[in-house]
């Protein structure tokens, strides 16, 4: 396919590189990054012109909406706008409707797996859009990731992403709180892990991404909490989840508590630029209340 890739940051650049390695022609555009070996366009519209699929990986819904207005006017009829950004559900649905109004196909497919998954082609995609758009993009998902789930109509990919990451944020906080309590009760961290990882308290946060250094599989905790998934990005996703909860009139008190705590950690403590599992040393340094 002829592919345009708009947004070549830490995630977009390796995703585009994997498409090039697989033999696709990729034209890129980014206001900041210019990856080596990629054909670059002078504008988003120029990149999108003539492409079969235009992939966007952008920071937020406002930027996505602005870029979509530019590229939709330049895309050929029947082309697909594949958005892999993590944005609010309403923006995703509005962009999909704008694409449909312009005679295009659209699918929102945010990702899970971080920079490592983008580099290694092992991302998970959560896709929302028509079956026709999904079928066209499926070979690209298979190159850039190891799993894709078609979650339903436009916006449902974003819905799946924020629901998943709300669970992740809550469980990471609970895991870090429990390790801190174990420390203060004199329970060895390895013993704590051995019990919880094989008992009813097990979770991905404990078993695969343990926040305690030297315990379980290697994780950012073993690299001074340099981010695999930054606390700043967890705050973004939890904020999106709460915006969606308000829009849908859904009661999510633990999701809001997690958002508030990550907001405090990132904006008023030392969490900015650290992994989201750095909540453990944050709790370890504090006393009750």
Q: Which long-range contacts (CB under 8 A, 24 or more apart) does 176-184 make?
A: 176/211, 176/277, 176/279, 176/280, 176/282, 176/283, 177/283, 179/211, 179/212, 179/280, 179/283, 180/280, 180/283, 180/284, 183/284
Sign of CA dihedral 173, 178, 181, 186: negative
Catalytic annotation on 161? yes
- Taking the C-alpha atoms of residue 234 and residue 216, their distance in angstroms, rounded to an integer, is 22
Count of other CB atoms within 10 angstroms of residue 148: 21
In the set 161, 226, 236, 246, the catalytic residue is 161
- Taking the C-alpha atoms of residue 281 and residue 176, their distance in angstroms, rounded to an integer, is 8
* Residues labelled as active-site residues: 161
């Amino acid at each position: 396919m002829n592919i345009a890739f708009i947004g070549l940051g830490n995630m977009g650049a390796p995703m585009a590189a994997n498409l090039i390695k697989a033999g696709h022609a990729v034209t890129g555009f980014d206001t900041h990054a210019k990856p080596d070996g990629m054909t670059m366009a002078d504008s988003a519209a120029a990149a999108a012109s003539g492409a079969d699929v235009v992939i966007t990986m952008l920071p937020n819904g406002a930027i996505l909406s602005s870029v979509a207005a530019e590229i939709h006017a330049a895309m050929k009829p029947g082309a697909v706008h594949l958005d892999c950004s993590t944005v609010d559900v309403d923006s995703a649905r509005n962009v999909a409707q704008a694409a449909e109004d312009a005679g295009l196909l659209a699918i929102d497919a945010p990702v899970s797996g971080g920079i490592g998954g983008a580099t290694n082609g092992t991302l998970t995609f959560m896709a929302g859009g028509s079956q026709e758009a999904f079928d066209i993009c499926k070979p690209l998902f298979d190159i850039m990731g190891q799993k894709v789930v078609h979650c339903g109509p436009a916006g449902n990919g974003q819905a799946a992403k924020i629901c998943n990451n709300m669970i992740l944020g809550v469980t990471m906080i609970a895991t870090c709180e429990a390790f801190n309590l174990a420390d203060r009760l004199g329970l060895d961290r390895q013993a704590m892990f051995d019990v919880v990882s094989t008992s009813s308290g097990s979770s991905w946060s404990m078993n695969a991404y343990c926040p305690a250094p030297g315990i379980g599989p290697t994780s950012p905790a073993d690299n001074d909490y340099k981010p695999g998934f930054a606390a700043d990005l967890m705050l973004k996703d939890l904020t999106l989840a709460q915006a969606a909860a308000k829009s849908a009139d859904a009661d999510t008190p633990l999701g809001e508590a997690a958002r508030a705590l990550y907001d405090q950690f990132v904006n008023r403590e030392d969490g900015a630029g650290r992994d989201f599992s750095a909540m453990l040393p944050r709790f370890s340094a504090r006393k009750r209340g």
